[in-house]
Amino acid sequence: MNKTSMILDVDTGVDDAYAVLFAALHPAINLLGITCVDGNTHVDQVVANTLKVLDAAQAGDIPVARGATRPLLGPSQYAEYVHGADGMGDLGIAPSTRQVDPRSAIELLRDLIEGSKDLVTLVPIAPLTNIAIFLRAFPETAKKIHRIVLMGGSTSAGNATPVAEFNVWHDPEAAAIVFSSGVPITMYGLDVFMRPGISSQEASVLKSSSEPSAQFAGQLIEAFIERLHISPLTLGDYGAVVAAIYPELFTTQMFDVVVDTSSGPARGQTICDRRDDFLKDLEPLGLENPAKVRVVMDLDVEAVRQLWLKTIDKGWS
Ligand code: RIB
Ligand code: CA
């Protein structure tokens, strides 16, 4: 299998951790670097959490850079109710001894993309503030991005609000800039986000593994099953990473999409025109200046689950 050169943009966060572990460990991914953004928790905490996760993957040489401290316009709105005050379930996980990269997130993005011998796949699994700023600051480098496979949005219900998904809702203006950038976008949103999950029994097996990555993941999953009282627990953001390298496991559809940046009740909604073509012909009033987005609408859940388990724990059977 060819390697995919990839950069993650994260707000680590428990499900970001599952994605980072997979991207750092899977042999088909050349993880060039990780940029951190304000989202689930403050960006400095995101950096600290991301370094801890890379330590668990024994992937210490991957650069991690600090990005935006808040959304482009609005205030920070953390998701402590899900991820805890520290973004990782307040488990008291030991801090990493590694240092954050001295470059800012957008400088690291520029340098990694310019320095890559092949086209880079960008996988943002957080609010899109860093990516929007990068696209505006380095438009020539942005042209070298192969594609963006992002976790965000929804063609149906929201989670942060009745209609808006958290990553887009946290910074709708940034999302609008990214969606309308012209870079090919695959949207891994709430239509599939909750489906690949890990049970408490599987978490227990991971915890007893000899592999640090499996022990770390098992501990996180078990803690969040207890915290959120749900099992199986979704692997969340991880789905966007695996969709970038195993597209055959996912069913997608192209939709016209615009991001609602109003201040009304739909703020942060990814409005997708899902009308049948005959209706769109009859009622030509469509969305104004929509982005043509490839939206993930279904997946092979068991294959996606097993890929994660066997990557995080090589002895998994
Ligand atoms: O809506 C889900 C998204 O919000 C995920 O990226 C999760 O980490 C949170 O940031
Ligand atoms: Ca996230």
Q: Does residue 250 sit within a domain?
A: yes
- Local confidence band at 271 (pLDDT 50, 70, 90 cut-offs): very high
Percent with pLDDT over 70 in the chain? 100
Note the ligand closest to the C-alpha atom of 82: 1
**Residue identifier of the C-alpha nearest atom 2 of ligand 1:** 166
* Ligand lying nearest the CA atom of residue 190: 1
Q: What is the tens place of the pLDDT at every residue in 48-60?
A: 999 999 999 999 7
Looking at the domain assignment, is residue 40 inside a domain?
yes
pTM above 0.95, yes or no: yes
Task: Pick the closest to residue 32 from 119, 160, 97 (CA basis).
Answer: 119
Residue 16 inside a domain? The answer is yes
What mean pLDDT is predicted for residues 20-28? Answer: 98
Could you tell me if the CB of 196 is within 6 A of ligand 1?
Answer: no
- Can you say how many angstroms the Cα of residue 311 is from the centroid of all Cα atoms in its chain? 18
Which range marks the domain in which residue 66 is found? 4-194+232-312
What is residue 80's predicted lDDT score, i.e. its pLDDT?
A: 82
**If you average pLDDT over residues 9-23, what whole number do you get?**
97
Query: Is residue 221 in some structural domain?
Result: no
Looking at the predicted structure, is the pLDDT value of residue 1 above 70?
no
Type of residue at 170: H
Look at the block and give the residue holding tokens 């055959």.
Answer: 248
- Indicate the pLDDT class of residue 81, thresholds 50, 70 and 90: confident
In a domain, 304, yes or no: yes
For all residues of the chain together, what is the average pLDDT? 96
Span from the CA of 279 to the centroid of ligand 2 (angstroms): 36
- The answer to whether residue 179 sits within a structural domain is yes
CA diameter of the chain: 62
* Total tally of structural domains belonging to the chain: 1
- Ligand 1 atom nearest to CA at 125: 6
Question: pLDDT tens digit string along 132-148?
Answer: 999 999 999 999 999 99
Q: Region 240-255: what's the mean pLDDT?
A: 98
Is residue 46 assigned to a domain? yes
286 to 186, 252, 258: CA distances (angstroms): 21, 21, 10
Rounded mean pLDDT, 190-197: 98
CATH of the domain at 166: 3.90.245.10
Contact yes or no for 136/34 (Cβ under 8 A): no
Q: What is the mean pLDDT of residues 184-199?
A: 98
